[in-house]
């Protein structure tokens, strides 16, 4: 009796369960995982809420937020403005383009790097989203083809649409005339 109680005390004593602890090495405890997930979500929500406490932003912060939103629209509108300027005053536009032709090549490289870094992350996110949409569409293709075949077989003008197949009872029903009292009455009244 002492050996069994000693073994049980070793396995389950001091509020321990060595079997559960060993199993949790290989498989997560669902309850503990849910508690950790809840704690993570609560911390994220509280952090998000802390960012927006004191909703009144300092004038400098509002100014910087406004500046962060300017580059894309400014570049798009500036490019459209160049097209309009080229059409309205070609001489003025040509003079400005001659000035741009004098910009040294390393400065163009620097501008390219800045613009690439600024727009690169957005472009990469959009490309990845496009790839996800394409793969989702491609995964649906076999089901769509199967549905198209089924729909094509249902067309009344397709070859074999009225074919009965091997069902003999259905073939007998098709050739058996229906009882139609109205047709019979019409035939009786009609002089032959």
For the segment 71-92, the average pLDDT, to the nearest whole number, is 90
Q: At 88, is the pLDDT very low, low, confident or very high (cuts 50, 70, 90)?
A: very high
For the segment 143-161, the average pLDDT, to the nearest whole number, is 76
Return d(Cα 98, Cα 79) in angstroms, integer.
17
Return the pLDDT at 59. 87
Return the pLDDT at 149. 85
Return d(Cα 152, Cα 158) in angstroms, integer.
7
Return the pLDDT at 146. 87
Q: At 67, is the pLDDT very low, low, confident or very high (cuts 50, 70, 90)?
A: confident
User: pTM for the full model?
Assistant: 0.34
**Among all chains, which residue has been given the structure tokens 């727009």?**
119
Return d(Cα 108, Cα 88) in angstroms, integer.
27
Return the pLDDT at 80. 94
> How would you class 14 by CB atoms within 10 Å of its CB: exposed for 0-12, middle for 13-18, buried for 19 or more?
exposed
Return d(Cα 116, Cα 124) in angstroms, integer.
11
Return d(Cα 178, Cα 186) in angstroms, integer.
15
- Asked if 92 and 85 touch (Cβ cutoff 8 Å), the reply is yes
Better pLDDT: 88 or 156: 88
Helices of type H across 13-104: 18-26, 30-51, 59-68, 71-88, 90-101
Return the pLDDT at 159. 66
In DSSP notation, 85-134 reads HHHH-HHHHHHHHHHHHTS-HHHHHHHHHHHHHHHHHHHHHHHHHHHHHH
**Among all chains, which residue has been given the structure tokens 């949409």?**
133
* Every domain of the chain and the residues it spans: 1-51, 71-102, 105-154
> pLDDT tens digits, residue range 91-148?
988 888 888 888 899 898 998 888 888 777 677 777 788 888 888 888 888 888 888 8
Among 22-31, 109-118, 146-155, 156-165, which stretch is predicted with the lowest mean pLDDT? 156-165
pLDDT above 70 for 8:
no
């Amino acid at each position: 009796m002492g050996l069994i109680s000693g073994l049980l005390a070793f396995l389950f004593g001091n509020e321990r369960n060595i079997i559960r602890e060993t199993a949790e090495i290989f498989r997560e405890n669902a309850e503990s995982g849910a508690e950790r997930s809840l704690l993570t979500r609560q911390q994220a929500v509280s952090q998000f809420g802390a960012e927006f406490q004191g909703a009144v932003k300092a004038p400098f912060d509002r100014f910087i937020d406004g500046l962060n939103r300017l580059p894309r629209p400014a570049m798009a509108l500036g490019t459209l403005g160049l097209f309009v300027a080229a059409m309205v005053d070609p001489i003025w536009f040509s003079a400005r383009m001659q000035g741009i032709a004098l910009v040294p090549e390393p400065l163009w490289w620097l501008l390219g790097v800045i613009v690439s870094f600024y727009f690169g992350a957005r472009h990469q996110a959009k490309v990845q989203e496009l790839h996800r949409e394409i793969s989702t569409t491609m995964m649906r293709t076999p089901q769509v083809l199967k549905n198209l075949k089924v729909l094509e077989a249902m067309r009344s003008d397709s070859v074999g649409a009225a074919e009965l197949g091997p069902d003999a009872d259905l073939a007998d029903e098709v050739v058996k005339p229906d009882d139609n009292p109205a047709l019979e009455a019409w035939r009786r009244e009609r002089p032959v």
